[in-house]
Structure 1
């Protein structure tokens, strides 16, 4: 009972193919790959935000203030 034989694995494979169908498995794998890429992208964006705030300053949003973009600063100054 320790390990499964090749016949056990073939039966499992047939059952999985019957349940999900041939086209569904690649679709599920593609969706999983997109999810992993999205997760990695989110983690790298999170790391870059932490590095930007590494000097101890925090970014605060106040509804009554607007922040000038560099283009606005140049045109006014």
Structure 2
């Protein structure tokens, strides 16, 4: 067990640490350590998301062709302007 250290020796060391530092300070250290681990995991997860975004940005999303089979185009703004002019008359 752990290089010859028994459970009783670990309990004695834990008791001495609690007497020296106190439970309040140990609780704060535990909370700080937990917050640090949580922050580290969050940073690693955000780094993975950034890598995914970079990989997605490198690849083209879609190819757009401006040619239509009929050869006609549809201009929405021109149609709206014509409707506005008719309303003004």
TM-score, scaled relative to structure 2: 0.52
Q: Secondary structure at the match of 1:23?
A: helix
Query: Which is higher, the Rg of structure 1 or of structure 2?
Result: 2
Displacement after TM superposition at 1:50 (Å): 0.2
For 1:49-60, list aligned pairs within 5 A: 49-55=50-56, 57=58
What is the number of equivalent residue pairs in this alignment?
Answer: 56
Higher relative contact order (CA 8 A, sep 6+): 2
Q: Which runs of 5+ in 1 are unaligned?
A: 58-77
Q: Provide runs of 4+ in structure 1 moved above 3 Å.
A: 4-7
Q: Which runs of 5+ in 2 are unaligned?
A: 59-89
